[in-house]
Amino acid sequence: MVDVEVCINGDTVVETRASVTAANTGGAARVELCGTMEFDGLTPPLECIKAARAVFERKGLLVMIRPRAGDFHYASDEIELMKSQIAEAAQAGADGVVMGLLDEAGRLNLKPLRELVELSKSFGLETTFHRAFDATRDRFEALGSLIELGVDRILTSGVRWGMPGSALDGVLELDRVIQAAQARLEIVIAGGVNPVNAPQVLQGLSPWNGKLSVHAYSGVQDNGNTTDAGVRALVEAVQVFRERFTIAARRERRPYD
């Protein structure tokens, strides 16, 4: 199964409503609401989460939990702020949160990450580990830990964080990660995804991959605005792969998966 997830820049209520409406009308399965996209996405304002919830009525509203720009190594007061932001997102109606924590060595900061995941679960929220995954020293070590923590999704381009390139450039690494995951969590393919290159990325993957999603931001925009036409084009572009991966997963799923 291949779903479409759309990243929304939610800095103002008006902007949020317009963009989420476009994603909803275009057929996105999920939206990821962020603020301050010029810094790769921070925690959005509470009023924008509420506005997004009012428009996107079905399940699939994810909220970025990232208290500042820069690296993914957070001090204790920042982690406490993230906990507060998770609680606020839940109270505003979010279905899930998106976050990522690393230590100074580039490995998962497991103790606070576990606390954040458990807190999220206590509110009934799904959890996505964002592209901090691409900044880890060892993706496969991180993958095993995230599976053990019960994280629902990982966002990755297959390209090292901070390096040039899109998901199309990272397709071989994406395939390795997807195969290693063995459908124990969902892999969300990000990084310059658009209706043109999404089929090329998916075509480059092995036929059995469990549940997948593609994640787009600028690739479904026109003049900086999310459009229903752009989202619909991406949904249609991956439709054939939605069917292909669903069939392949049924045929090749192992008893222990």
For each of the chain's 257 residues, which pLDDT tens digit applies?
789 999 999 999 999 999 999 999 999 999 999 999 999 999 999 999 999 999 999 999 999 999 999 999 999 999 999 999 999 999 999 999 999 999 999 999 999 999 999 999 999 999 999 999 999 999 999 999 999 999 999 999 999 998 889 999 999 999 999 999 999 999 999 999 999 999 999 999 987 657 899 999 999 999 999 999 999 999 999 988 765 655 455 555 444 34
pLDDT of residue 137: 95
* pLDDT of amino acid 94: 99
Which tokens go with 18? 């317009």
* pLDDT at position 257: 40
Global pTM? Answer: 0.92
Q: Look at residue 9 in the predicted model and tell me its pLDDT.
A: 96
Residue type, 51: A
Number of helices and strands in the chain (H, E) = 8, 10
Q: 2-252 adopts what CATH topology? A: TIM Barrel (3.20.20)
What is the pLDDT, as a whole number, of residue 254?
Answer: 44
CA–CA separation, 132 vs 66, rounded Å? 11
Res 206: pLDDT: 87
Q: Exposed (0-12), middle (13-18) or buried (19+): which is 1, by Cβ within 10 Å? A: middle
Q: CB 209: neighbour CB atoms within 10 A?
A: 25
Q: Where are the beta strands (DSSP E) in the chain?
A: 2-9, 30-34, 61-64, 96-99, 126-129, 153-156, 186-189, 212-216, 221-222, 225-226
Q: Are the CB atoms for 128 and 62 separated by under 8 Å?
A: yes
How many C-alpha atoms does 47 have within 13 Å on its Cβ side? 5
Instruction: Give pLDDT, residue 211.
Output: 84
Q: Look at residue 145 in the predicted model and tell me its pLDDT.
A: 98
Token pair, residue 149, equals 């923590």
The sign of the torsion formed by the CA atoms of 24, 27, 33, 37 equals negative
Q: How far apart are CA 6 and CA 214, in angstroms?
A: 8
